[in-house]
Amino acid sequence: MFFERILYFGYNMKVMFWNMNNQTSNIELIKLIGKYKPDCVLVAESKICLEETILELKYDYVSSIIYNKPKISFIYNSQTISEAKILQEHKNRLFAYSIKYESLEFMIIGVHFVSKLNFDKDSQLCECIDYMEQVRSLETNHNCKNTIIIGDFNMNPFDIGMIAGNAFNSVVSEAIAMKGKRIIQRKEYEYFYNPSWKIYGGAEKVFGTYYLKNPDHSSFHWNIYDQVLVRPTVLLENNVNYCVITDNACFSTEKKAASDHSPIYAEIERRK
């Protein structure tokens, strides 16, 4: 194992993400946060008033430094997160934040990736490679490998941009991720663990986060576009649970709900 062991304290941190599909009402978001009580929330395609939302919730938020209309907003519980700051904004699609939780620093990276409607799989792969250059640079410059990437990837876990070594290099197996890295043509690539794979098979009666019935032969119907990736350093003392929220008020295949994406959250839970 190539990474150093880090001591963790007892905690149960929850990171939520929701693509709100340009909703202007914060009612469903406030209900979600009140019910699940996440420590930090990243929202995409949001037109809500953050000031009103945080007042209602008694949360706080981190402002964009570059963009007047950022594609991702970051809300956090200031009672559990002692410090939160923005580290980088890239193409208005990748937003990196540093947070302090239980005296430990995490890097939370929110993504709202380019759509398959405008980018084919080869173009998406090129963008993934670019994004990962940013991530690796951030980890090096801030000396932090407690990295969690969460968001709307607009790809399924098996798409080439998610699994390629020089892209997100994410794997379904926690045991493989814990090996730390793989070597391709004498170059090292660090793994991410992707717990989002567990949705496949419908064992939990959840089939995806985004539903699209295309009139062609290769339609998947259900897609897992909203995912979470975790560096193996985070796995050393913790279980990582990935959950798709199936509240019909938030999402429905009938398009009668607040958004066309289901909210998700990742729970980082220290092993007892």
Q: pLDDT of 2-15, one tens digit each?
A: 444 444 445 799 99
**Predicted TM-score (pTM) of this structure:** 0.93
Query: What is the per-residue DSSP string for 234-272?
Result: HHSSEEEEEEE---TTTB-TTS-SSBSB--EEEEEEE--
Which pLDDT score, from 0 to 100, does residue 7 have? 43
* Residue 140 structure tokens: 């090096």
State the Cα–Cα distance between residues 244 and 211, nearest whole angstrom. Answer: 13
Which pLDDT score, from 0 to 100, does residue 2 have? 42
Which pLDDT score, from 0 to 100, does residue 105 have? 94
Structure confidence by residue, pLDDT tens digits, 34-84: 999 999 999 999 998 888 888 888 899 999 999 999 999 999 999 999 999
State the Cα–Cα distance between residues 220 and 33, nearest whole angstrom. Answer: 30
| Regions of the chain where pLDDT drops below 70 | 1-10, 203, 248-249, 251-258
Which pLDDT score, from 0 to 100, does residue 256 have? 60
Which pLDDT score, from 0 to 100, does residue 5 have? 41
Grouping H, G, I as helix, E, B as strand and the rest as coil, residue 60 is strand
Which pLDDT score, from 0 to 100, does residue 253 have? 66
